[in-house]
Structure 1
Amino acid sequence: MRLLIIGAGVLGSNLAHSIRKGNDVTILARNKTYENLKNNGLIIKHKLGKKTIDHFNVIEKLEEDDIYDCIFVVSRFSSLDSIIPIIENNKSKNIVFVGNNISVEKYMNIKNKNVLFAFFMAAGKKYDGYIDSICLNKIEIGRVDGKDINNEFINSIFKETKIKVTIENKMNDYLKTHACAVLPLVFASYKVNGNLKLLKKDKEYSLLIMDAIIEGYDVLKKLGYEILPKGEYENCVNKKKFCAFIYRFMFSNFIGKMCISDHAMSARDEFLLLNSEFEKLRKKSKLETKVYDQLKLELLNYKD
């Protein structure tokens, strides 16, 4: 398939690398990233593997008649509004938004487009000329209305790749759940200025993180959303101490840095917006989120 990936950050770069087999992949990038990709290729230093260098077709602008079988929009939540006009003016039909998104309703009805949503399991940090990364090669992807009418199309995109695909056609619920799980971890990152190792022995704070996550899930449940994946809510409530232990373990090693704090500390605008959108949901639910409200101050009051 002819695929376009808009965005060459950590997620977009890993997705391009992982989805390339069996597909004709183009990357839309700008400025220095465009020059680096054109001149040196896509360089990824894989924490769990060797360095790879891939060469893709790279464009700076998407023309109206430059049609792709599918366009993957892999950008920060805070940048999506600036990308919408680009895809609206292009004749490609199938669009997949990849990444954090707590406001799916805003983007799911683009005129003349078949819109899907996804979350790709990769993390790391972008440097000048390369990506330092850990990638699990897993993707959750699908519609938001529960219908399976795009399942065959989705499978055809990934059939020759090594990406493990889970089709989830309630992606609105999935992405809202994910946002509620991630935000308290982001707050923790700002509490220690990105050095999560300072929290590796703090049992009390790790339990507060769990309480804040559960409060977020309760908001979603009150509003009628399903907590996904199935069993996530029950695990957090019934195995809270174990989940808190897992987070402390992550904080103690490179996983915490690459999967949580690197992104958190480099994308404050994104997480401020995610928090703001969550606040709208909380007000609508009329539930109190006392622990969440306490922890979020680390993000809101942070000064570099």
Structure 2
Amino acid sequence: MAAKQDRILIFGAGVIGSMYAMKLIEAGFEVTLFAHSNRFKSLRENGLQYIEKGTVRSIQVNVIDTLENDDVYNFIFVTVRYDRSESALLALKDNQSKNIVTMTSNSIGFSSWMDIVGDRLLPAFPGFGGQIKDGVLHARFLPKFIAATAFGEINGVVTERIENLATLFKKAKLPYVIKKDMQAYLITHSVSDIAMLSVLHSENRIIDQKTARTRKKASQITVTLKAYLRAIQKAGVSIDPPILKLVLKLPNTFLDLFFMTWLRTNMVRDMMLPDYANNANNEIVQLRNDLMKFLRQHDIKSEILD
């Protein structure tokens, strides 16, 4: 089967996959969502449901739960959590599509992913978030200066497929940024996620809202984040975005107050504590384990390794 122009598969119908599907369908692209179980059934029966100005709306989307090797797409977006990334890529290993865009964190580099899909791999990271409640998408779009979809070749070269992907995002009116060092960007992002989200889960359960708001939890984020940032710098990773370099210069007291404020936001209360922290715990654990492997590979000794 020959690939059609602007034909896109989104492998994973969670928050991120659903958000990209919604925006790309609105822009006129031919989009297919790969989903499993209840999510597959919901999308087939109700379409892609989402909240817009307080009202539940729906758009029709082509949804599949099996993928043939000769079912070819211009781009496949892999929008699963990091702990499911390798299994997703293994499912795509024999598919003949040439461009596989991994929309997920990565704290160790791309060797294992390339062993599966080779130079078809195009690392990226989504620029928005949200949650799905009762099958309905609640999207959270942020200003471009705060968050934009990041992508780039592993070697930093701006290739034809990078330009094509940029054109796709322009048509969909999705903010994006092309990165020259996606490994540095993803490792830095993983470090911040590990430091900030791991505090929401303790002793195999989500912490309560009162505990989350304490100075002790904020201080835990500060100390951990600084230690990780110093460690990846020693390993030769450029901190990206560069503004995070300020974290190493600011006093702990200032950062503690900043993270206390963050821990008291509605986003943490309504999304991360009841939903994301629980679902993402396996992801955060694997990100941390793989980051430790990465640091040991570079012979980095730090208080976070002890």
Whole-angstrom CA distance in 2 between matches of 1:28 and 1:244: 41
Amino acid at match of 1:198: T
Q: Per-residue CA shift, 1:127-183, capped at 9, x if unaligned?
A: 442233423373111122221124312212112112111111311111111111111
Q: For residues 205 and 256 of structure 1, do their structure 2 counterparts lie closer, same or farther at Cα, with a shift above 3 Å needed? A: same
Match of 1:140 in 2: 150
Task: Flag structure 1 segments of 5+ consecutive residues without an equivalent.
Answer: 294-304
Q: Is the 8 A contact 2:153 2:162 kept in 1?
A: no
Match of 2:49 in 1: 43
Say whether 1:126 aligns with 2:140: no
Report SS of the residue matched to 1:231: helix
Q: Is the 8 A contact 2:150 2:176 kept in 1?
A: yes
1:1-304 to 2 correspondences below 5 Å: 1-20=6-25, 21-45=27-51, 50-105=55-110, 106-108=112-114, 110-111=116-117, 113-136=119-142, 138-149=148-159, 150-191=161-202, 193-200=206-213, 202-238=214-250, 240-257=252-269, 260-261=272-273, 262-284=275-297, 285-290=299-304
Q: For residues 41 and 276 of structure 1, do their structure 2 counterparts lie closer, same or farther at Cα, with a shift above 3 Å needed? A: same
Whole-angstrom CA distance in 1 between matches of 2:55 and 2:9: 25
Q: Per-residue CA shift, 1:25-76, capped at 9, x if unaligned?
A: 1101112111100110111236x86544221111111111111110000011
Cα RMSD over matched residues?
A: 2.4
Report SS of the residue matched to 1:146: coil
Calculate the TM-score normalised by the size of structure 2. 0.85
Q: Per-residue CA shift, 1:174-205, capped at 9, x if unaligned?
A: 111111111122221014824445333x3343
Amino acid at match of 1:91: Q
Amino acid at match of 2:170: K
Q: Per-residue CA shift, 1:226-266, capped at 9, x if unaligned?
A: 11012312245336544433322222132224564332211
Match of 1:298 in 2: none
Task: Flag structure 2 segments of 5+ consecutive residues without an equivalent.
Answer: 1-5
Q: Is the 8 A contact 1:134 1:258 kept in 2?
A: no
Amino acid at match of 2:291: F
Whole-angstrom CA distance in 1 between matches of 2:201 and 2:239: 26
Q: Is the 8 A contact 1:180 1:216 kept in 2?
A: yes
Whole-angstrom CA distance in 2 between matches of 1:274 and 1:229: 19
Q: Is the 8 A contact 1:123 1:258 kept in 2?
A: no
Whole-angstrom CA distance in 2 between matches of 1:237 and 1:286: 21
